[in-house]
């Protein structure tokens, strides 16, 4: 069954909860749906419900919750939840990516750089260069390197940023012309600063 819009998704979610009200993964999906609908309180309630159920996959629930908090600009909560999600998971590159974004948004550049470094290391160690992480930067390793480049620019390390942007280019699959053009523009910006 294809879900064509949020109203359909909400109906499917409500029906699934009737069928299996003890599934923490359903509550995680509900939290993600509530986040997409802009219902921050509902999302928080669904994630809390997911965590309260026996057998909850805590790392996964916290990873979804921290991602929602970053999208909602709730950075102070994201710091705690993203750090916990990253530490509880051996493949938490998305949580580290979100942690970097939360730190960056709060002006903690050193902590943001440390978190994005960890996102890159974890990503390389667990899923390879072309897989899609769960964090805010998406589209594999290339955008994680680009994110690190932007943090470095804010720290005044333009030369290192250019190195990371070039590494991002080399990490792209061949069928990514739009992303390739965007990263080339980043390089030009870094060289001008």
User: Is residue 169 situated within a structural domain?
Assistant: yes
User: Is residue 28 situated within a structural domain?
Assistant: yes
In the chain, count H helices and then E strands.
10, 0
Same domain as 167, residue 116 = yes
Supply the DSSP symbol for 132. Answer: P
Q: Give the CATH number for residue 183.
A: 1.25.40.10
Same domain as 30, residue 121 = no
Q: Looking at the predicted structure, is the pLDDT value of residue 81 above 70?
A: yes
Same domain as 155, residue 112 = yes
User: Is residue 73 situated within a structural domain?
Assistant: no
Same domain as 180, residue 139 = yes
Same domain as 98, residue 135 = yes
Same domain as 82, residue 52 = no
Domain range for 45 is: 8-56
User: Is residue 61 situated within a structural domain?
Assistant: no
CB contact at 8 A, 167 and 145: yes
Euclidean distance between the first and final Cα of the chain, in Å?
A: 51
pLDDT in tens, 49-78: 999 988 888 988 999 999 999 999 999 999
Same domain as 84, residue 48 = no
Question: Domains in the chain: how many in total?
Answer: 2
Supply the DSSP symbol for 4. Answer: -
Which helix (H) or strand (E) element contains residue 98? Answer: helix 93-105
Same domain as 49, residue 86 = no
User: Is residue 145 situated within a structural domain?
Assistant: yes
Same domain as 87, residue 17 = no
pLDDT in tens, 91-145: 678 899 999 999 999 999 999 999 999 999 888 877 655 554 555 455 578 889 9
Q: What average pLDDT does this structure show over 72-90?
A: 91
What is the chain's alpha carbon radius of gyration, rounded to the nearest angstrom? 18
Q: Output the CA–CA distances (angstroms, integers) from residue 18 to 12, 42, 124, in the order listed.
A: 10, 18, 40
Dihedrals φ, ψ of 130, to 5°? -110, 0
């Amino acid at each position: 069954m294809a879900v064509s819009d949020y109203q359909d998704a909400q109906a499917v979610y409500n029906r699934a909860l009737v069928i299996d009200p003890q599934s923490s993964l359903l509550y995680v999906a509900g939290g993600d749906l509530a986040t997409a609908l802009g219902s921050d309180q509902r999302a928080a309630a669904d994630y809390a419900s997911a965590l309260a159920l026996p057998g909850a996959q805590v790392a996964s629930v916290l990873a979804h919750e921290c991602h929602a908090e970053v999208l909602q600009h709730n950075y102070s909560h994201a710091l705690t939840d993203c750090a916990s999600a990253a530490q509880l998971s051996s493949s938490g590159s998305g949580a580290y990516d979100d942690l970097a974004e939360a730190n960056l948004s709060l002006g903690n550049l050193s902590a943001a750089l440390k978190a994005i470094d960890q996102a890159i290391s974890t990503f390389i160690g667990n899923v390879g260069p072309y897989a899609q992480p769960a964090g805010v930067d998406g589209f594999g390793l290339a955008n994680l390197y680009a994110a690190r480049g932007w943090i470095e620019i804010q720290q005044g390390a333009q030369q290192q940023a250019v190195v990371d942007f070039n590494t991002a280019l080399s990490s792209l699959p061949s069928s990514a012309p739009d992303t390739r053009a965007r990263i080339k523009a980043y390089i030009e910006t870094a060289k001008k600063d």
